[in-house]
Amino acid sequence: MKKISFITIYAALLITVSCKKDSDFLDVPPKQVITAEVAFSDPNLVLSILGDLYNRQRDFSSLDGFTNEPGWRTFADFSEAFPSENGSYFLVQRTGWGYNEWAIWDYTYIRELNLFIQRATAATELTDADKNRFIAEGRFLRANYYFELVKRMGGVPLITEPLDYDFSGNVSVLQVPRAKESDIYDFIISEAEAIKGLLSVGLTDKSRATPGAVLAMEARAALYAGSIAKYGVTTPQVALSGGEVGIPSSMANGYYTKALAAAQAIITGTAGSYSLYRQLPDLSDNFANLFLDKNSSESIFVEDFKANGGKTHGFTTNDQPYSISDEGLDAGRLNPSLNLVEAFEKLDNTYAPLATNDAAGNPIFYTDQLDIFAGRDARLAGTVLLPNGLFKGKRTEVFAGYQLGNGTIITSGDATLPQDVPGLGRVQVVGKDGPVNGAEFRTQTGFYIRKYLDPTVGSGRRGRGSDINFIRYRYAEVLLNAAEAAFELGQPAVAAGYLNQVRSRAGLTVPLTVGDITFDRIVHERRVELVFEGHTLFDMKRWRLATVVWDGNQMTVADLVSNIGNARKRNTQPFGLWPYKYYNPGNINNGKWLFKEVKPSPVTGANRFQLGNYYSQISDDILSANPKIVRQPNQ
């Protein structure tokens, strides 16, 4: 009896207080989860998914970078630049690259692309126009990511449908072997051919797939495949018997032909309206501005950013000149090397080192620091912020010390540590912007970067960041791709035509003749036009030149200033060019500048590219999880 009343009261009270059923109380609807059915019934939600897939495209050098690899650092490798940051000197202290460098294997991304394509194809509530565009975009992103994979890894498992595990314990059906390297390139080319028609030529949004973007990808991919086929013969060890690595030389012409055709489809305007950027009278400013102008007619496919819009990058914060920094200590990490600077031609199409000494070995004095760079390819000052260069209306202050009449050099560890200069008293003896060996965030080569450096007020602040977009494909590269393909197909006149278009925009108005067109010319033109855009490594790999130019030997100044323009020239250590102020009262050169070629003291290693570096390592966890995957050669 007691028990019954007990339970009754308990139950009664429970009911009165808790009006919801337990299961209702526990079902808390999520606020941020959307089911696939809902997502693919609403084009805005599909675009939201697509936005994520665009964001996850992988660039070798990107302005935003990712957690462990800040955007600027990949630019600073390969002796084209020097990293002025204590934590990054390893780039110039190591003796080569690990086999696992540059490896990627993001099959989660591929799965999501496959799911996207599958779900978009099955969608019933989207218009055909939307649906086709979405599917084409998914396939474009997938092909472009396979391109990134094949560039780094060679042939990879080609997976175009989501793989589902049935929890049966049998995983052999999920184990896909590596495709041939050529199969992946063929896939990229055939996908490009298949989807370019799904996209309207009228599409102008360069942050999304367009026929131009698809063709630009196809042209570059075919060119890469062609050159691997052709130049792979110089490194016969870099191959696998199953074709996972290496492409037979017989396929070279076929690929070059496709590359030229795809590039010409863009050049002839069938894929939309693209042209070289020519907006500013000063050709260096014009070249720099092509990367700053979001409406540039030259860009084809970009990663876009937007200040106050939630997506910016820290490139300017990381790399702005120290004394013109928006942000205390954040500056100056990426210092272009003298090696690169010397590569820019004189306006008469000849190569020459910067004149620091006369024939007798005496220093040459310059009134203005910029004078030593006069008469060069306009892309030099458009790519590199030279000493005394202008940024945001201010000039950089770069000098390494005072040189006295007797040759004595007076310097110090910092601009704020003055020294006694006989006759001048205690004065500042080094520039606020460097160079001082080991002084991070200031240039240690004498140069800062200009390409992508954003002059917008606030773009160097950590809190705001820069929204300069990163151009993944641009028209000048299409021209250079066409030129190279034509050259390799034995059409030097066609090649010269395309090269001269690019060169005249840089102020090199004397056209190259058919006889001037050599392989070295092609290599050189790509270097000066496309440096810091993520091409260096892959160009050197596909031409099989990487083991030649990065041979692991130390460089001397004599090496540095000789053989400029030779595609096989050694480039293992970044050098700098340090200005000194000449102090010798009464001397005609008093107050002028002299320059010295310097190897910054943190540079102790020399880049050595080994045969095993041509294709990045497939890690043990990948190999052990799928026994059908074969290892890379030479590792």
Partner 1 sequence: MRKSLLLRQEGYVRSHWLYPKSVFIICTVIICMFLSDRVFAQGQIKISGTVIDSTGAVLTGVAVKFRGTQTGTTTDVNGKFSLTAPDANSVLVFSYIGFASQEVPLNGQTTFNIRLKANNTSLQEVVVTGFGTQKRESITGSISSVTSKDIDRVHAGSTVSTSLAGKIPGVTFRQSEGRPGATASLQIRNMGSPLYVIDGIQQDEGQFNNLSPNDVESISVLKDGSAAIYGVRAANGVVVVTTKKGSGDARINIDAYTGYQNFYRFPNVTTNAYDYMRYLAEAQVNSNGSTSITPAELEKYKAGTDPAYRSFNWRDYILKENNNAPLNSVNANFTGATERVNYYVSATNLHQSSQLGKEYLFNRSNIQSNVSVKVANGLKVNLNINGRIETRENPGVPGLDDYGLAKFAVLRNTPLERPYANDNPEYLNDIGHTESNYAFLNKKLSGVFHSDWRVLQTNFGAEYQIPGVKGLTVKGLYSYYVADYLLNNQEYTYNAYTYRPATNTYDVTGGSTNPWREREQRKEFAKTQQLQINYNNTFGKNTIGATLVSERIELQHLRNWIHASPVSNNLPLIYFPTADQYQDSDNKETRIGYIGRLNYNYDNKYYLEASARRDASYLFAPDKRVGYFPGVSVGWRITQEGFIKKLLGDNSFLNDLKIRASYAVLGDDRDPGNSANPIVTPYAYLPGYNYNTGTAIIGGNALVTSADKGLVTTNISWLKSKITDIGMDFTLLNNKLSGTVDYFYRKRSGLLDRKSDVVLPLEVGYLLPLENLRSDAQYGAEFSLSYNSKIGDVSYNVGGNFSYSRQKNLESYKPLFNNSLDQYRNSTVNRYANIDWGYEVTGQFTSQEQINNYTVNNDGRGNRTLIPGDLIYKDQNGDGKIDQYDERPIGFGYGRQPNINFGFTLGAAYKGFDFHADFSGGAGFTWFQNWETRWAFQNNGNLNTIFEDRWHRTDPYDVNSTWIPGKYPANRVNPSFTHSDYELNGQRNSTFWLHGVKYLRARTIELGYTLPTGLLAKAKIRKARVYINGYNMFSFDNLKQYGVDPETTDDNGLQFPQSKVLNFGVNLTF
Q: Residue 202: CA atoms inside 13 Å, Cβ hemisphere, count?
A: 0
Is residue 455 a contact partner of residue 292, using CB atoms and an 8 Å limit? yes
Is residue 428 a contact partner of residue 415, using CB atoms and an 8 Å limit? yes
* Residue 8 tokens, joined: 């009754």
Window contacting partner 1 (CB under 8 A); options: 248-256, 267-275, 455-463, 577-585: 455-463
Selected binder of partner 1 within 208, 474, 505, 527 (CB under 8 A): 208
Would you say 169 or 361 has its CB closer to partner 1?
169
Is residue 574 a contact partner of residue 80, using CB atoms and an 8 Å limit? yes
For the CB of residue 449, give the shortest distance to partner 1 in the complex, in Å: 20
Of 418, 376, 447, 383, the residue nearest 598 (C-alpha): 447
Window contacting partner 1 (CB under 8 A); options: 32-40, 254-262, 346-354, 370-378: 32-40
* Residue 431 tokens, joined: 């520039």
* Residue 319 tokens, joined: 């790399």
Window contacting partner 1 (CB under 8 A); options: 22-30, 180-188, 260-268, 530-538: 22-30
Peptide bond into 363 cis (omega under 30): no
Selected binder of partner 1 within 326, 377, 484, 488 (CB under 8 A): 326
Would you say 368 or 420 has its CB closer to partner 1?
420
* Residue 411 tokens, joined: 């310097």
Q: DSSP state, 93?
A: H
Would you say 7 or 374 has its CB closer to partner 1?
7
Window contacting partner 1 (CB under 8 A); options: 1-9, 70-78, 270-278, 575-583: 1-9
Binding of partner 1 at residue 301 (CB under 8 A)?
no
d(CA 614, CA 307): 38
Would you say 88 or 264 has its CB closer to partner 1?
88
Q: DSSP state, 501?
A: H
3-state secondary structure labels for all residues of 530-575: HCCCCCHHHHHHHCCCHHHHCECCCCCHHHHHCCCCCCCCCCCCCC
Residue ranges in 161-190 that form contacts with partner 1 under rule CB under 8 A: 162-165, 169, 171, 174-176
What mask, x for binding partner 1 by CB under 8 A, covers residues 458 to 487? x--xxxx--x--------------------
Window contacting partner 1 (CB under 8 A); options: 76-84, 187-195, 244-252, 304-312: 304-312
Would you say 105 or 519 has its CB closer to partner 1?
105
Binding of partner 1 at residue 13 (CB under 8 A)?
yes
Binding of partner 1 at residue 19 (CB under 8 A)?
no
Q: How far is CA 161 from CA 118, 134, 167, 329, in A?
A: 8, 17, 18, 48
Residue ranges in 606-635 that form contacts with partner 1 under rule CB under 8 A: 621-622, 624-626
Binding of partner 1 at residue 268 (CB under 8 A)?
no
d(CA 182, CA 180): 5
Selected binder of partner 1 within 115, 292, 347, 557 (CB under 8 A): 115
Q: Residue 439: CA atoms inside 13 Å, Cβ hemisphere, count?
A: 22
What mask, x for binding partner 1 by CB under 8 A, covers residues 368 to 407? ----------------------------------------
For the CB of residue 375, give the shortest distance to partner 1 in the complex, in Å: 34
Selected binder of partner 1 within 43, 49, 299, 536 (CB under 8 A): 49
Window contacting partner 1 (CB under 8 A); options: 33-41, 73-81, 190-198, 229-237: 33-41
d(CA 123, CA 224): 36
* Residue 354 tokens, joined: 């910067």
Would you say 557 or 622 has its CB closer to partner 1?
622
Is residue 131 a contact partner of residue 120, using CB atoms and an 8 Å limit? yes
Residue ranges in 500-529 that form contacts with partner 1 under rule CB under 8 A: none
Q: How far is CA 167 from CA 99, 164, 173, 174, 378, in A?
A: 35, 9, 12, 12, 62
